[in-house]
Each structure stands twice: as C-alpha cells, then as structure tokens.
C-alpha cells in the first residue's frame, strides 16, 4: 500500500453455505464470497470525518473523539472500524468517504461485514499501515461487537476477505484454519431475498448466542464444538429449550465436515441434501427461520434442477440460498420469484450469483 490522498476499496457479500450459528460456538463454517459488493472511496480530510451514502444520507464526526452514534447508526460500522484501527496504531485522521454498491442490505448476505471490510481496506490505503488479513477481519468483528452491539462471530469477515472465485471457504473458528475448496463448475447458487429484513441488534441473534452458551454449560463442555450428536441423546437432564439449540449447532458442525469431503469429491447431490437438512434444523431446532424463508425453500426444493436450499446467514428474515444445476439456474430463479410472488403478493429479489474473489 502506498500513501496517497485518495483511495478506494471493495468487499463482497458472502453466502453461508453451511455452518449456521456455529462460528461463535468455536465450530466450523463453509461459505463463499459472491459477486455483489460494497465499495468505499474517498479522500483524506482535516480532523473531521464525512461519510455519504445514496441509501442512508450523510454523517459527520470528529476523528479525534470517535464514539457510537445514537442516530444514523449505519455509520457506526465505519466509525467502529476507524476506532479499532486507531487502537492498532493506524494513523487515521480525518477523511471523506462515499459508500455505494449493489449488495442488498439486511438480506443475510453480510452487508455489514462487507461495509466494515471495505472501510478497513480503504482506510489502510489512505493511511498506510501493515496488518495481516486475519487481523483486519478481527478488527472489523470487534467494531461490530463494540460499536453496533451485535455479538457476531468472525465467519462473515473471513469469507468476504478470503474468498476465491469458484471456491468455497472453509473456516475453523477455533483453530483459525482457513482454506478454499473447489466448487463444482456444473453447479450454481441462487440467492432469494424474502423481503423481510433483519435487525440483528434487536435481540434474537444475541439471545441465541446466550442460549448456546448455556447449552454448553449444561452439557459440561467448553463450547458446543466439543459435543457429539450422540451425546445429546444420552442426556435427559438438559432443559427443553437448550437441547434443540445444542442439536442444531452440533449437527451443523458435522454437516460442514461432511460437506467439505463431498465438494472435494464433486458430489453436488450429497451437498444439496445437507443444505436441506440444515434448513430443517434451523426451522425446528434453532427457530431462526420465518414463514417467508420456509416458503422460499419449499418452492425451490420442488423445482427441476434444484439439489438443495436453506436459509443463509443468521436467519430471522433475510435470504435463502439454492443449489442447482448451472444450466437450469436461470429458469429456476425465474420460477422461484414467480411462485413466491403468487403466494405472498411480495416480489422477491432473486438472482444467480457467481462465487467471487475476496475483498481488495
């Protein structure tokens, strides 16, 4: 990175393929960066920060006294990143930044992590400083935890940052192993936005995090990563709410491990079955699905060429991801949108996405 008065950076959204709510339980995740991005571009300024967005408007702040905003809270993602980078020694002063892109907001495609990463890379270009990519990801996670109030794990930032075209990203949240796995070229991914947006800081996400921590304590393990599905059946003394929460996370970890082997073998059908099982577990065990997400999944599963479908991301609204044969993707996307509109009166945003490279 070279010093300059102007800079720009972009970061892609991500689609969670498997590994739902496993990251903050020290589990494993499989995801992919997609070809929808958020861009941040701008210039150095004096001591003030000015952030503009066609979607959200304009915000100003003092670079020397960064603190979370109570209004225009969307800017806290950027201000939080600036604050975390300052604490790491990055000599951030004032700057003007414009936010734009084509990644849907609030759809479970990690627009928040994309905004954080695009902001971090923009600032590291504008105020040159060397950090490893994993350090950058962790700084963005801390910004979301501290400035936004969502106690999110690290998976979104890692997948957006370490994405590779036509590869899934495997991330072990305990060992921090990151590797890419080839994705079959004959398959495609379809994203369908239910039209019901999520607001994770409203409580459901943080509630699930607390519930899974309590479940780990009840089973006597450090985290649900250390539990096997067979052990869940052996214990009859676990509270009724915590047992299914634990089952979802434990079996999701097992699905991810199996999925990596299936992808390496080019087995799209087996992978699709795991996606279907994941959604059913979200619906029954974790209760983070919605009627809209369930409808999108059930419609997709009945269409010719579809191998599997599930909600993607935290749930509680947002989007689904459908795995299908590439030569059927266009027709599947069109039919999925038509059938959902006919059933709900809401026209969903549905698009075929390419698996893309990570943030830069």
Domains belonging to the chain, first-starting first, are 6-179 (3.30.230.10), 185-353 (3.30.70.890)
- Give pLDDT tens digits along the chain (360 positions): 444 699 999 999 999 999 999 999 999 999 999 999 999 999 998 889 999 999 999 999 998 899 999 999 999 999 999 999 999 999 999 999 999 999 988 777 889 999 999 999 999 999 999 999 999 999 999 999 999 888 788 989 999 999 999 999 999 999 999 999 999 999 999 999 998 876 654 689 889 999 999 999 999 999 999 999 999 989 989 999 999 999 999 999 999 999 999 999 999 999 999 999 999 999 999 999 999 999 999 999 999 999 999 999 889 999 999 999 999 999 999 999 999 999 999 999 999 999 999 999
What residues act catalytically?
Answer: 156
216 conformational bin, left if phi > 0, alpha if psi -120 to 50, beta if neither: alpha
pLDDT digits (tens, 9 = 90+) for 206-245: 899 999 999 999 999 999 999 999 999 899 899 999 999 9
Q: Is the pTM of this model over 0.85?
A: yes
With residues binned 3-state (H G I as helix, E B as strand, rest as coil), the percentages for the chain, rounded to 5, are: 45, 25, 30
Rounded Cα distance between 282 and 316, Å, is 10
| DSSP 8-class letter at 88 | T
Decide: 106 and 318 in contact? Cβ < 8 Å: yes
Decide: 297 and 311 in contact? Cβ < 8 Å: yes
pLDDT digits (tens, 9 = 90+) for 246-283: 999 999 999 999 999 999 999 999 999 999 999 999 99
Query: Residue 2's pLDDT is what?
Result: 46
Taken in order 202, 203, 204, 206, is the CA torsion positive or negative?
Answer: positive
Token representation of residue 96:
């003007």
Token representation of residue 321:
């991801």
Q: How big is the CA angle at 228 (ends 223 and 230), to the nearest 5 degrees?
A: 140
| DSSP 8-class letter at 248 | H
Token representation of residue 5:
């008065």
Query: Residue 107's pLDDT is what?
Result: 73
Question: Can you list the alpha helix ranges (DSSP code H) found in the chain?
Answer: 76-87, 111-126, 133-143, 155-162, 204-219, 229-234, 242-264, 268-281, 291-301, 329-344
């Amino acid at each position: 990175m070279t010093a300059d008065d102007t800079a720009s950076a972009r970061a892609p959204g991500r689609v969670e393929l498997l590994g739902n709510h496993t990251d903050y339980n020290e589990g494993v995740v499989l995801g992919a960066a997609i070809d929808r991005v958020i861009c941040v571009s701008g210039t150095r300024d004096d001591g003030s920060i000015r952030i503009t967005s066609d979607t959200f408007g304009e915000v100003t702040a003092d670079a020397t006294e960064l603190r979370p905003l109570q209004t225009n809270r969307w800017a806290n993602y950027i201000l939080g990143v600036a604050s975390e980078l300052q604490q790491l020694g990055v000599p951030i002063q004032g700057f003007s930044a414009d936010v734009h892109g084509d990644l849907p907001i609030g759809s479970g495609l990690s627009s928040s992590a994309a905004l954080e990463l695009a902001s971090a890379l923009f600032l590291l270009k504008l105020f040159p400083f060397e950090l490893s990519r994993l350090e950058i990801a962790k700084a963005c996670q801390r910004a979301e935890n501290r400035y936004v109030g969502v106690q999110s794990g690290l998976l979104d930032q890692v997948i957006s940052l370490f994405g590779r075209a036509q590869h899934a990203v495997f991330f072990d949240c305990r060992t921090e192993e990151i590797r890419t796995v080839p994705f079959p070229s004959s398959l495609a991914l379809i994203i369908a936005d239910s039209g019901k947006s999520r607001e994770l800081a409203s409580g459901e996400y943080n509630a699930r995090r607390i519930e899974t921590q309590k479940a780990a304590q009840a089973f006597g393990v450090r985290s649900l990563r250390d539990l096997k599905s067979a052990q869940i059946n052996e214990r009859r003394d676990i509270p009724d709410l915590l047992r299914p929460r634990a089952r979802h996370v434990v079996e999701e970890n097992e699905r991810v491990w199996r999925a990596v082997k299936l992808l390496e073998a080019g087995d799209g059908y087996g992978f699709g079955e795991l996606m279907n099982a994941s959604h059913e577990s979200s619906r029954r065990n974790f209760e983070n699905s919605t009627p809209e997400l369930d409808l999108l999944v059930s419609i997709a599963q009945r269409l010719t060429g579809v191998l599997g479908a599930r909600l993607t991301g935290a749930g509680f609204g947002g989007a689904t991801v459908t795995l299908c044969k590439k030569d059927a993707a266009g027709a599947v996307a069109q039919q999925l949108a038509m059938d959902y509109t006919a059933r709900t009166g809401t026209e969903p945003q549905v698009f075929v996405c390419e698996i893309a490279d990570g943030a830069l």
